[in-house]
Amino acid sequence: MGRVTRLVAVVAMGIVVLAGCQRDEQRPQAPTAAPSTQEISPGTLAAGAKVSAPKDEVVLTMSGEIGTHNKGKKLALDIASLERMRTVRMQTSEPFLKRKVTFEGVLLSDLLAVAGVQDSASKINMTALDDYKVDFNVADVRSSQMMLATKADGKRMPVDRAGPIRIVFPDSSSLGHNPDLWIWSVSTMRLS
């Protein structure tokens, strides 16, 4: 009789579990989180397009394992060139100001595509105007929503305010939890 009792108990437990699962399926699902970035403009400069030499001050020079060049073996970009790419907006917690800031700019993954970064590249070495250096894995950049920001709270960023371009991360980024990676006044990127 003990065996039958155990069997009945197991069957009853199974019915309770199934009924609970069925109720969960009928509950409305929680809305998914909003994406970290919002597209501002689809842009006119995309992967595979010719990138003209900049007409204004060069703010970023890319070199190394890239396939797009406009200055010898380098890719030189001014703000206008960057703004011809797909631009996005992201509100994120800025670690130095200790408040939410709305940044605008280009996703680094889009920039790598425009620069024709080769599959053999595994590392990005970024250098700021003050020679501060930060390295990232190309795979991390391609799979993230890291941004090269050109504006903060709707305004261009002067050099004395972390500009004219800087790296920012969405709040959901594990890389963004390290303030040392929030490099500002980026001037060069070397892909290797």
* Residue 13, pLDDT score: 46
Helix runs in 27-164, H state only: 79-83, 108-114, 138-142
* Residue 8, pLDDT score: 44
Model confidence over 29-80: pLDDT tens digits? 433 334 578 999 999 999 999 999 999 999 999 999 999 999 999 999 999 9
Model confidence over 129-146: pLDDT tens digits? 999 999 999 999 998 899
Strands 99-107 and 123-128: unpaired
Model confidence over 164-183: pLDDT tens digits? 999 999 999 989 999 999 99
What are the sequence ranges of the domains in the chain? Answer: 37-191
The residue among 151, 175, 36 whose CA lies nearest residue 95 is 175
* Residue 131, pLDDT score: 97
Tell me the two tokens of residue 71: 């200055």
Tell me the two tokens of residue 126: 């970024």
Strands (E), the chain: 37-41, 60-64, 75-77, 87-94, 99-107, 123-128, 133-137, 147-152, 155-156, 166-168, 186-191
**Cα-based distances in Å from 26 to 22, 23, 110, 112:** 7, 5, 40, 44
CA 49 to mean position of chain CA atoms: 21
Taking the C-alpha atoms of residue 53 and residue 6, their distance in angstroms, rounded to an integer, is 79
Asked: is 37-191 a CATH 3.40.50.280 domain? The reply is no
- φ, ψ of residue 25 to 5 degrees: the values are -65, -30
